[in-house]
Amino acid sequence: MRLENETVVITGAASGIGRETATRCAEEGARVVVTDIDSNGGQSVVDEIDDDGGEAVFYDLDVTDSEQFHAVLEEVADSYGLDVLVNNAGTGHPGGSLETIDDSIRDFVIDVNVKGVWNGCHAALPHMKEQGHGSIVNVGSLASILGLPKQAAYSMTKGAVLNLTRAIAAEAGPYGIRANTVCPGFTDTQLLDQYLAQRDDPEKAREEMAEDYPLKRLAEPEEIASAILFLASDEASFVSGHGLVVDGGFSTC
């Protein structure tokens, strides 16, 4: 098993890509630390893993709260160790031109998507440096490499995630720590549902979106989880500072 006896912390793990990543890591032998602001959803993931014979625990965590993030990872490291951190928690915003996006929305997206990832890395790195190994996987987006129209704040934050990851890889590599980013295309999650809900005909918009992809469909959460699992594991032992694009060929068009 690819993550046997390793401890994997996943943020935003109550649903979507985070949930699938949690269950996949457990299947590969990891002790999974599920974190989210959704306590009920997070606990249901833990229950599912336990029922399948895996090992998991839930921590309530708001990634924008640096002190809370540090406290959670301190407790996790002391109790179980800390081998992998998956910074998956993220948010989007209603579509609109840059000049129409309210400052409060911009700031919230920055707080979750950028500061949340920064907080996680800031809290995890001392533990990983002390033990001489670790893997950080940050969840970016197709917007990490392409500026998406009507999504300026989101694109800004996801671009920042990719370059932060590169900086961490360069800085922490000598300590045996790898850092990578997964850059998914549109994935069939609640976040996508919220995005499409702004359209007059969400189902038609979904179909049109799928047609823009060479594979003529959107990604499933488990497909992104597979990419995260690869980067987290020793199968990617010489991969660091990389942005792994998982977009069904969209960026080639």
Using one digit for the tens of pLDDT, what is the confidence trace for 7-31? 999 999 999 999 999 999 999 999 9
Supply the pLDDT for residue 37.
98
What pLDDT score was predicted for residue 94?
Answer: 84
Q: Which of 59, 154, 195, 213 is catalytic?
A: 154
Cα distance between residue 19 and residue 13, in whole Å: 5
Tell me, what's the pLDDT at 121? 98
Q: What is the pLDDT of residues 163-221, one digit of tens each?
A: 999 999 999 999 999 999 999 998 988 777 777 777 778 888 889 889 999 999 999 99
So what's the pLDDT on residue 206?
A: 87
Six-digit token string for 33: 């630390």
Whether this prediction's pTM lies above 0.85 is answered by yes
Mean pLDDT of the chain: 95
Active-site residue flag, 213 = no
How does pLDDT run across 117-139, given as a tens digit for each residue?
999 999 999 999 999 999 999 99
pLDDT band at residue 143 under the 50/70/90 scheme = very high
SS (H, E, C) 114-143: HHHHHHHHHHHHHHHHHHCCEEEEEECCHH
> pLDDT tens digits for 80-117?
999 999 999 999 898 889 999 999 999 999 999 999 99
**CATH topology for 7-186+220-246?**
Rossmann fold (3.40.50)
Q: For residues 46 and 212, give the distance between their C-alpha atoms in angstroms, rounded to a whole number.
A: 36
How far, in Å, CA of 33 to CA of 43, rounded?
11
Query: Identity (one letter) of the amino acid at 235?
Result: E
Condensed to tens digits (0 to 9), the pLDDT of residues 227-251 reads: 999 999 999 999 999 999 999 999 9
Domain boundaries defined on the chain: 7-186+220-246
C-alpha to C-alpha distances, 193 to 55, 118, 153, 230, nearest whole angstrom: 30, 27, 19, 27
Tokens representing residue 181 in the block: 């980013």
Other CB atoms closer than 10 Å to residue 198's CB: what's the count? Answer: 12
| pLDDT given at position 200 | 77
Q: For CA atoms 105, 111, 112, 117, give the dihedral sign.
A: positive
pLDDT at residue number 99 = 95
- Model pLDDT, residue 101: 94
Helix (H) or strand (E) holding 71: helix 66-79
Dihedral angle computed from the Cα positions of residues 98, 202, 250 and 142, in that order, rounded to the nearest 10 degrees: 40
By residue count, the chain amounts to 253
